[in-house]
């Protein structure tokens, strides 16, 4: 069965999560992704795959799967020459450095596009390629803060709560980059020309706040954490502790879901008051009290089939034991020649005719250097000379 991106060649210059997540998406959908790795001495704490633990950890790395790996010392002319040869055959380049780094290395968009005018070149950075903060360092927490999202994620005392690196790194960065690359490839199909895709993770998080921003633009109202309709301000869209110290999530926004819940809890008298803010304190108190009378799983068993928008708040081990998640194949099992059965997160994009596939697990850094150079026409003795000169690894 064909893969949707099987003819697309990607050069992956990324070191951190945002870019690696982007190229994971492309690889899962069939692209031939080649990681351009730095020499061992410059890998700054990333896996060297020099012992069994590191090699086993690599096998479970989802952001390195479906990729090959070559080590190029791009600070050396010989390595850049090899990169240009690869770029001539490539469709996409993805990099995640601070603006200015790839220009110093000689692998920036202007340079690469002269080598291959059809290249789609994606740069992922915190603040983008233009603007006063473009060279400012940062990580997910900084971009979530700068975008305004962190001000909406607070604890009971109003202090911002640091979320996992899902908003900026992965959704605002990696996913936006993948969308931009696919759009640029479609445009190239029409125009015959490549282009640059400039992704700022801060922009991406602001984009995710589109509905919140719309309310601010239209009414001039600043959203308040834990007071908005989707951030804890509604009793019927909230999280409640259960008898066993776990939590149940309630999302009965629509009137019919609220009615079904009230009937299941034998409180039909509350049905008319779903949107009566004067009653919210009473409804909060009732739901807080009633959900503490049963365990989380008892509530899900009781309400899960009552059309009420109630679900358990799972820990990760519970997520992958759930029959819904298993049937959706969000647990992938792949055989590794050394470590046996390896589990990874599955592919969420379900295509009926050309589904994605995990074809290979993470490579060791430089695992495919000789293979890739041979594809470019280098003879074995030439490859040995390049290795001896530390141009490749």
Helix, strand or coil, per DSSP, at residue 218: helix
Order of strands across the sheet that contains 92-95: 67-71, 32-37, 9-12, 92-95, 120-125, 195-200
CB count within 10 Å of CB 63 equals: 23
Instruction: Determine whether 335 is an active site residue.
Output: no
Cβ atoms of residues 85 and 79 within 8 Å: no
Instruction: Determine whether 139 is an active site residue.
Output: yes
Residue from 366, 343, 362, 367 nearest 64 by CA: 362
Contacts of 354 (CB under 8 A, 6+ apart): 1, 2, 3, 4, 30
Cβ atoms of residues 181 and 120 within 8 Å: yes
Alpha helices in the chain (DSSP H): 17-28, 52-59, 77-89, 101-105, 109-115, 140-146, 176-191, 201-208, 210-219, 255-264, 280-291, 296-303, 316-319, 323-327, 369-375, 380-388
Q: What does the alpha-carbon distance between residue 344 and residue 316 come to, in Å, rounded to a whole number? A: 13
Q: Residues 12, 28, 169, 203: which is the catalytic one?
A: 169
181 by Cβ neighbours in 10 Å (0-12 / 13-18 / 19+) ranks as buried
Alpha helices in 265-352 (DSSP H): 280-291, 296-303, 316-319, 323-327
Angle at 65 between CA 122 and CA 107, to 5 degrees: 30
CB count within 10 Å of CB 259 equals: 18
Q: What Å distances lie between residue 224 and 34, 144, 153, 182, 194, CA to CA? A: 45, 16, 10, 36, 43
Backbone phi and psi for residue 85, each to the nearest 5 degrees, phi listed first = -65, -40
- The residues that are catalytic are 139, 169
């Amino acid at each position: 069965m064909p893969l949707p991106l099987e003819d697309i060649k990607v050069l992956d210059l990324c070191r951190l999560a945002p870019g690696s997540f982007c190229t994971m998406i492309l690889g899962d959908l069939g692209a031939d992704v080649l990681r351009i790795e730095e020499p061992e001495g410059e890998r700054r704490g990333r896996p060297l795959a020099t012992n069994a633990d590191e090699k086993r950890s690599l096998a479970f790395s989802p952001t390195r799967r479906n990729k090959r790996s070559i080590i190029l010392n791009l600070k050396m002319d010989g390595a850049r020459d090899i990169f240009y040869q690869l770029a001539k055959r490539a469709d996409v380049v993805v990099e995640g450095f601070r603006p200015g780094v790839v220009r110093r290395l000689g692998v920036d968009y202007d340079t690469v596009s002269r080598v291959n005018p059809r290249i789609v070149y994606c740069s992922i950075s915190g603040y983008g390629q233009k603007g006063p903060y473009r060279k400012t360092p940062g990580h997910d927490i900084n971009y979530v803060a700068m975008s305004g999202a962190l001000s909406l994620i607070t604890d009971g005392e109003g202090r911002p709560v640091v979320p996992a690196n899902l908003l900026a790194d992965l959704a605002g960065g990696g996913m936006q980059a993948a969308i931009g690359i696919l759009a640029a490839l479609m445009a190239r199909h029409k125009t015959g020309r490549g282009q640059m895709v400039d992704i700022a993770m801060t922009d991406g998080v602001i984009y995710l706040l589109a509905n919140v921003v719309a309310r601010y633009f239209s009414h001039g109202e600043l959203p308040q954490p834990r007071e908005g309709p989707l951030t804890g301000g509604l009793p019927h869209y909230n999280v409640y502790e259960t008898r066993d110290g776990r939590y149940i999530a309630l999302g009965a926004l629509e009137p019919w879901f609220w009615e079904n819940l009230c009937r299941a809890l034998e409180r039909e008298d509350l049905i008319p008051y779903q949107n009566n803010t004067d009653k919210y304190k009473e409804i909060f108190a009732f739901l807080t009290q009633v959900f503490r009378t049963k365990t989380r799983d008892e509530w899900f068993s009781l309400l899960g089939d009552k059309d009420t928008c109630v679900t358990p708040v799972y820990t990760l081990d519970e997520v992958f034991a759930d029959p819904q998640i298993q049937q959706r194949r969000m647990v992938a099992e792949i055989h590794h020649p050394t470590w046996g059965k390896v589990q990874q997160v599955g592919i969420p994009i379900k295509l009926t005719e050309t589904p994605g596939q995990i074809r290979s697990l993470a490579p060791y850094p430089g695992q495919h250097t000789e293979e890739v150079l041979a594809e470019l026409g280098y003879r074995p003795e030439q490859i040995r000379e390049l290795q001896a000169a530390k141009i490749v690894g």
